[in-house]
């Protein structure tokens, strides 16, 4: 996950605590691990996942979020109309996505190239949630 994803998750966690909703055992374990890392001298932003690793930048993370949104749209557009999609073929969805997201500057060919990249395979799912990696939501 990139720092944008982590920040979104931490904001939701803060809202959970402010609402006084109980923490799950997994959340307690995660907090204990992070507090231990900080107490052992690790930078808090790094322990919380908010620090960009070498070679990664906020700009790269934002670019990844954009392509994630486009691929999510393509996956949804290929769903049948009865399931809430547009019933498009994959090629039709690539073309339509390049029109819908014209401001991103992606051609249908570029979208197709991203669609088949292995590191983006999780972005091809129409059933993605807020807390999923690279979630466009």
The parent domain of residue 110 ranges over 58-124
pLDDT one-digit tens code per residue, 83-109: 999 999 999 999 999 999 999 999 999
Three-class DSSP labels, 48-85: CCCCCCCCCCHHHHHHHHHHHHHHHHHHHHCCCHHHCC
pLDDT one-digit tens code per residue, 47-78: 998 998 888 888 888 888 899 999 999 999 99
Which tokens belong to 113?
């190239």
Claim to verify: residue 28 and residue 81 sit in the same structural domain: no
Over pLDDT 70: what percentage of the chain?
A: 99
Residues 61-98 as b/e (b if ≥16 CB within 10 A, e otherwise) read: beebbbbbbbbbbbbbbbbeeeeeeeebeeeebbbbbb
Claim to verify: residue 71 and residue 106 sit in the same structural domain: yes
pLDDT, average across residues 111-129: 93
- Report yes or no on 99 lying in a domain: yes
- Total structural domains in the chain? 2
Question: Which residue matches tokens 């466009």?
Answer: 136
């Amino acid at each position: 996950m990139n720092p944008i994803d982590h920040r979104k998750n931490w904001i939701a966690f803060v809202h959970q605590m402010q609402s006084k909703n109980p923490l799950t055992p997994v959340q307690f374990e995660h907090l204990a691990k992070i507090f231990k890392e900080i107490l052992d001298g690790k930078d808090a932003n790094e322990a919380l996942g908010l620090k960009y690793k070498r070679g990664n930048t906020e700009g790269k993370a934002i670019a990844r979020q954009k392509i994630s949104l486009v691929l999510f749209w393509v996956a949804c557009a290929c769903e049948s109309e009865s399931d809430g999609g547009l019933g498009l073929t994959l090629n039709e969805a690539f073309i339509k996505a390049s029109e819908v997201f014209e401001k991103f500057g992606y051609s249908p060919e570029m979208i197709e190239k991203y669609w088949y990249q292995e590191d983006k395979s999780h972005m091809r799912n129409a059933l993605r949630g807020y807390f999923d990696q690279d979630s466009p939501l």
